[in-house]
Amino acid sequence: MTISLLRLAIRSGAYYWRTNIAVLLGVSAAVAVLGGALLVGDSVRGSLRDIALGRLGKADQALSSAQFFRSALAADIRADGLSTAPLIVATAFVTHEPSGRRAGNVVVYGVDERFWTFHGVQPPGGLAISPALAAELGVDRDVRVGDGSQGTRPVTNDVVLVRLQRPSEIPIESLFGRKEEIGRTLRLTLSEVLPRERLGEFALRPQQTELRALFAPLQRVQRDLGVEDRVNTVLMAGVQDASAARAARAALTLEDLGLKLRASEDRTQVIVDAAGGMLSGPLEQSIRDAGAKLGSSSLPVFTYLANTMRVGDREVPYSLITATDLAHVSPSSSAVAPGTSPVARDPIVLNDWTARELKAKPGDPLEIEYYLWDANTGLTTHTSAFTVGPIIPIAGFAADRQLAPAYPGITGAESLADWDPPFPLDLARVRQVDEKYWDDHRATPKAFISYEKGRELWQTRYGGATSLRFVIPAGTDADAFAAKLRGELQSAIRPEALGVSTQPVRRLATEASVGATDFGQYFTYFSFFIVVSALLLAILFFRLGVEQRLRQIGILRAAGFTIASVRRLLMIEAVTLASIGGLIGIAGALAYGQLIMHGLRTWWIGAVGTTQLTLHVTPSSLAGGALGGIVAAIICVFLSLRAVAKLSPRALLAAQVIGHEPAGDPKLARRNRIIGVVAGVFALAALAAGFLSEAAQAGAFFGGGAAALISAMFLLSSWLRSRPSTVIAGRGTGAVLRLGVRSAAFRPGRSVLSAALIASAAFIIVSVDAFRKSGGEVAASRSSGTGGFALIATSELPLVHNPNEAAGREALIISAPELLQTKFTRFRVRPGDDASCLNLYRPTAPTIVAPERGFIEAGRFEFSSSLAETEAERANPWRLLQRPVTAGGPIPVIADATSLQYVLHAKVGDIFSMDIGADRALELQFVGAIKDSVLQGELLMSEENFVRLFPSQQGYRYFLIDAPVTTAAAAGQLAGVLEKELTTFGFDAVTAAERLEAFHRVENTYLSTFQSLGGLGLLLGTIGLAAVMFRNVLERRRELAVLRAVGYDRRRVSQMILAEAGLLLGAGLGAGILSALIAVVPAWTSGSGRGPGMMLVLLLAGVVLAGVLSSVVATRAALGGRMLDALRSE
Amino acid sequence: MLTIDKVSKVYSTPRGDLPILDGVSLTLERGQAAAIMGPSGSGKSTLLYILGALDPPSSGTVTLDSTNPYALNERDQAAFRNQHIGFVFQDHSLLPQCSVLENVLTPTLVAPAGQKNGDTDEKQARMILEQVGLANRLDHRPGELSGGEKQRAAIARALIRNPTLLLCDEPTDNLDASIADSVADLLLDLHAANNTILIVVTHSAILAERFPARYQVADRALVSA
């Protein structure tokens, strides 16, 4: 039975090949689009993975540190199969000396042969740059990049100036940090452009955009940066992540972590201090704990510089004062404890030299002056009053020169006159006796105060101790104790706490390649209408094919075939057709996927920012697409065949059409009218809600729009099914057109389906267009997306001086008169992943910026949502950043609403865990979302929390700038002036409006993509409409022939049919456009969207044209046969 | 007056020409009625369509009141049919989406403007529908009518333009005998009332019997029966 049914099905399929080819094309189009969309998702993911892994070369893990460590560490990290390579990684801006062209955000790699051997790549002859940097600098003229050539091709001997931050162990925002010379310029001669295949785009952090990289000889970079034999990164490969991390941890010494451990000069104590001069609070605690394990209590030491010590009219300039346990300095110092003196001053213990110079005696009031550095006010002088306590000889602990940390420019100087500190010094104040003291005692402190007082005066975010000392237990050898303490410290101190961490870069890159956006999902949505239209076409043609042979089916039924066997026969044919269509569709999917990828590389590059996206074919996606399309087609066929089963054999023999609906059904018309009216009321209510509450706009869009659309379609259905009250009478074209319009009621269900398809597509296209955004305005309001700022700037080197203060401007050498009226809002930056839609990778550690306090108070930008509870928070949600943080609780952050939703896939209130290399992941809570802003790429945190969490991040590197400019040209000009003035910092300024437009461009590109594919679906829908018309006309050929017989010429019959098509097209477009307009009116009136663009008008006009043309073609085809054939009863 | 002069019809087929009619001639005056009979495939319907300006003869001429419709262009030919010829088919071929009244009015929609206006057309349609016994079915859709009623509606549509020539192709073949009889009565009555030339093609000897003139298509010729 099955075999014969199969044969019969195959024979039937072959006989009705014309309609079956149409069915095949419909199914294959659906499969192609569905499979293609899934392939796009795979391709984007695959391409991102290829880019990221390709750029990593052989590296699996990377040990990196904020500070520099021994390059020999690379060799010390040992594990079976492990290979390593040390290098320096830094960012810089590069100037091409001959042309003056500049490029910012360049990753500089200081590498030697170990790097190239590690990757198995032939090393370049000298300084090499990436193709993108070459293009930026204009030195790629004669170079074909990315050709995989292994040869070294010198391209130029041009000189490039590479400006990067000078490494400093001492924080530049501390008193002893150098603020004036924070950068170094390397003058290098360019050798060649390194193609991608030779690791020209080497990168440890995934990014899909072109990479500006520069590879310089390691030794040269080390020499110029003053970090001989040191690096800040080690690449690892060949072992598992955990093994690599273990091996790295085992190889790291305390010195690699920036700690120093040594015995005191008198070998009674072991000193632990930091290369940067300060021990941070957590580190100090870890060191204390390690000492305690050995039964040794710690002695904290905090040595600071006093500009002046004064008793009456006598002064001693530039003295080091140590804050420590005074009992350790002088057992009698407790006699002058705080509060015991007449004026309740803290005691200060002087050495006898100082007491002599000041003519001070115990109980005398003493004043000290010292500098403090403040991010806002810069260097300020402070005064503190003490009471002179015991006078002690320069001996023992008081004579220990190691109480002062090594401050470059101070402690190593041969004389006071040779001091070169990073703050103003009046050498005229230095006397012969001071020089003599320096000669005799160097940095030996001249006075001592209590440790608590020292912390109170001088503690910064970098810490409150310069060293910790451990008393060596009696009878224990100093070196043995030091070795024990070293062991304890190495196990107690987590390298991550000191900014040294091993990142599994390959795994992270692979994970990030999943992407912020599932393109497969997006393109499946985008292609929805094409799939539906294609399936509709397949169904239409399949039903047409079935209807063509109703008599044949009737004969089978009459011959004894059951309904089930007839349905089986047709299903066999349908499944066969769908399967063949699916196979053809797979080829189509490859073509469609390729087309979309081509689109992403070209037309829609604004959304992806890379030309490196290629088609990645995955069998599962192809199979999924094919299966999806085939199953959908089979389900539709199955449903449509149920109608055949309802026909009696007699009806089949009479070739009665399937699914015949009686025209004019008042009951159904009434029911549909009621539904239509109810839906219409709902639409109006949603519209009203959209006007009343901005928060309800999204709901108004979906609810109101959908309700309006449903209302329109049900009203259309009701109208088509109702009995018209007017009679079609009269003469001429108008009357014929009315008759044509009435013909739409011939098959009301089919007509509404056609109109609904067009309406839905038109709805999507029009409403999506309303969400297009234009760029920001130069002089926009403070609540706009630019926050009212004129410029946005970043700097490669941090700014520690305040450019809003006269002293800061002077220090930064800002002199251009145009900049006098500018006001900088400074942000601290922890570099990380771009959280904006410009980044395709999933951000795991987004860039965090922290504005200075004034920004929060200014309350700029507009919030779309927040966790505000109090009136003050509601009035200015930025204050949410200042909410107190509980111990271990999440840190409040604010993000741009678009980034939050589409890139981070989170909402306000959510917690985001971020690995910052600490003991545990940093938990951030989104407390607010800013509406459509220029701050899309970053998360914003309060400065207080930032400096606590990221003390190693120095200065400010992100700026929003107010300026009295009203035109884009003026703003652009000002940006140029700013870049020129702050060129040594690698300043890169753009107008805020331009930046906002860049973000909008991406969003608009996505919308264009959606519209293009929606338009394609709509176009296919109009072809579907034509198919409906063609089918209707075929079904009614006899009636039309009768009309011809009674005097209708071809023109009149065409008019009639076109009137029907026009009605459906017009009703569909009208309902779709109107519903979309209703839905987006709230958004428009609130100013967040913009009116329809010319592209949209052209798209819709194209659809109308296509609809009319395809209807004309369908009409001609249907009327093309001999009229008599339809009329003959014989 | 309808004049058929030596009309021949030959169809071209892949196996060569297929002659259907050969030298058929006939003249009928206004008020005359004739039935044409013949076996299936004899060419009687072909003759009917030739007379109805739907299928041009291979040779010979057809004139109605001295006008040869085949000398007209497509548009004028359609207007000629609209103005001078009424058709009734075996299958009524009414428009299902239109009411009975609207179906009857369909030929008037393409009638030349100025002769009558819409109101007059509608009045006349109502009158004819009353004549055919469908006065109470004006608003009904074809799907709501019986077979006989549908055919009556089709007859009303054929008469709405007061045609000179009324052509009926197997008008009662799908109907029960009693209904067929009443439809035949109606046709003949209206023919008499409107002074038309009535030609009916039928298999039914009973129907043919009721016509004063009867012809047979045999061997491609038209002969009196």
Sequence-ordered list of residues with C-beta below 8 angstroms from that of A358, at least 6 positions apart, any chain: A309, A310, A311, A314, A315, A316, A350, A364, A366
User: What pLDDT is stored for residue A271 in this prediction?
Assistant: 94
Q: How many domains does chain B have?
A: 1
| A649: in domain | no
Tell me how far apart the terminal alpha carbons of chain A are, to the nearest angstrom.
Answer: 36
Q: Alpha-carbon distance A1085 to A1115, whole Å? A: 44
Average pLDDT over residues B25-40: 89
**Measured between beta carbons, which residues in chain A are less than 8 angstroms from residue B109?**
728-732, 735-736, 739
User: A1047 at the B interface (CB within 8 A)?
Assistant: yes
A706 assigned to some structural domain? no
Burial tier of A198 (Cβ tally within 10 Å: 0-12, 13-18, 19+) = buried
Integer Cα distance of A90 and A87 in angstroms: 10
How big is chain B, counted in residues? 225
Does one domain contain both A368 and A423?
A: yes
Nearest to B102 among A728, A1046, A1123 (CB): A728
In a domain, A709, yes or no: no
Note the pLDDT tens digit of each residue in B202-221: 888 888 888 889 998 888 88
Contact A354, A392 (CB under 8 A): no
Q: Please report residues of B whose CB lies closer than 8 A to that of A654.
A: none
Query: Which of B2, B7, B28 has the alpha carbon at shortest distance from B215?
Result: B28
Residue B105: domain span: 2-224
Query: Which CATH number is B182's domain given?
Result: 3.40.50.300
Q: Is residue A835 part of a domain?
A: yes
Q: Are residues A269 and A208 part of one domain?
A: no
- Contact residues, chain B, for A746 at CB < 8 Å: 95-97
Residue A1065 has a pLDDT of 86
Is A843 found in the same domain as A987? yes
Q: Is A266 left (phi over 0), alpha (psi -120 to 50) or beta?
A: alpha
Task: Identify the segments of chain A with pLDDT beneath 50.
Answer: 1, 142-154, 335-337, 339-342, 658-659, 1129-1130
The whole-angstrom distance between A1127's CA and the closest CA on chain B is 8
Residue A398, domain extent = 259-492
What pLDDT is attached to residue A153? 46
Give pLDDT tens digits for B150-204. Answer: 888 998 998 888 889 999 888 877 777 777 888 888 888 888 888 889 999 988 8
Q: Residue A854: which of A834, A838, A876 has the closest Cα?
A: A876
Angle separating helix axes A519-526 and A17-56, nearest 10 degrees: 150
Looking at residue A919, its pLDDT comes to 67
The helix/strand/coil state of A421 is coil
DSSP state of A1093: P
| A342 shares its domain with A445 | yes
Question: By three-state DSSP, how is residue A315 classified?
Answer: strand
Q: What is the DSSP letter of A846?
A: B
Q: Which pLDDT tens digit goes with each residue over A126-175?
A: 899 999 999 888 887 544 444 444 444 445 678 999 999 888 888 888 88
Of A996, A1017, A1047, which residue is a domain's last? A996
Closest CA relative to residue A217, chosen from A347, A109, A338, A332: A109
Burial code of A1094-1104, b = ≥16 C-beta within 10 A, e = fewer? eebeebbeebe
CB atoms within 10 A of CB A677: 14
Does residue A72 fall inside a structural domain?
A: yes
* pTM of the predicted model over 0.90: no
Residues for chain A: how many in total? 1130
Assigned token pair, A343: 């004026």
Same domain, A110 and A184: yes
Percent of chain A with pLDDT over 70: 89
* A726 secondary structure, DSSP code: S
Chain B contact present for A1127, CB below 8 A: yes
Q: Which residue of B has its CA nearest to A738?
A: B109
Are B90 and A1129 within 8 A, CB to CB? yes
Contact criterion met (CB < 8 Å) for A723 and B90: no
The per-residue pLDDT for A150 is: 42
CA distance A219 to A226: 10
In the prediction, which pLDDT does A378 show? 84
Contact partners, residue A221, CB within 8 Å, separation at least 6: A88, A108, A110, A186
Question: A121 and A213: one domain?
Answer: yes
Q: Are A128 and A152 in the same domain?
A: yes
Residue A27 domain-assigned (yes or no): no
* Residues A877 and A954 both lie in one domain: yes
Domain boundary residue among A963, A996, A1029?
A: A996
- Whether residue A1045 and residue B52 make contact (CB cut-off 8 A), yes or no, is yes
Q: Are A206 and A512 in contact (CB under 8 A)?
A: yes
| pLDDT at residue A654, as a whole number | 57
B172 reaches A (C-beta below 8 A): no
Residues A239 and A288 in one domain: no
Residue A559: inside a domain: no
pLDDT, tens digit, for every residue of A422-437? 888 898 999 999 999 9
Residue in B74, B92, B110 to test binding to A, most A beta-carbons within 10 Å = B110
CA of B185, closest CA in chain A: separation in Å? 22
The distance of B202 to chain A (nearest Cα, Å) reads 11
**What number of other Cβ atoms are within 10 A of residue B146's Cβ?**
12
Q: Identify which of A706, A804, A833, A776 has the alpha carbon closest to the alpha carbon of residue A208.
A: A833
How distant, in Å, are the alpha carbons of A205, A706, A775, A1049, A1099 from that of A45?
16, 33, 30, 60, 31
Distances in Å between the Cα of A738 and the Cα atoms of A381, A728, A831, A975, A1027 are: 93, 7, 69, 65, 22
Tokens 């979906």 — which residue?
A702
CA distances (Å), origin B16, targets B19, B60, B196: 10, 21, 39
Q: How far is B102 from chain A (nearest CA, A)?
A: 6
**Looking at this protein, which amino acid is placed at residue B119?**
D
Which residue blocks in A466-610 are alpha helix, DSSP H? 478-492, 505-512, 519-526, 528-548, 550-558, 563-601, 605-608
Give the closest-approach CA distance of B222 to chain A in angstroms.
18
Q: Could you tell me if A222 and A95 lie in one domain?
A: yes
The answer to whether A294 touches A487, Cβ cutoff 8 Å, is: no
Q: Is A731 within 8 Å of B121 when comparing Cβ atoms?
A: yes
Burial of B66 (0-12, 13-18, 19+ CB in 10 A): exposed
A70 within domain boundaries: yes
Look at chain A and report how many structural domains it folds into: 3
Contact B161/A at CB under 8 A: yes
In this complex, which of A1050, A1123, A1129 lies closest to B89 when CB atoms are compared? A1129
Burial of A579 (0-12, 13-18, 19+ CB in 10 A): middle
- Nearest CA to CA, how far is A1006 from chain B (Å)? 45
Chain B residues lying within 8 Å of A742, measured CB to CB: 97-98, 102
State whether A887 and A960 are in the same domain.
yes
Domain's final residue, options A946, A965, A996: A996
Under 8 Å CB-to-CB from A557, ≥6 apart: which residues?
A: A563, A566, A649, A652
d(CA A497, CA A485): 19
Three-class HEC string of B108-122: HHCCCCCCCCHHHHH
The 10 Å Cβ neighbour count of residue A459 is 16
Are residue A218 and residue A292 in the same domain, yes or no? no
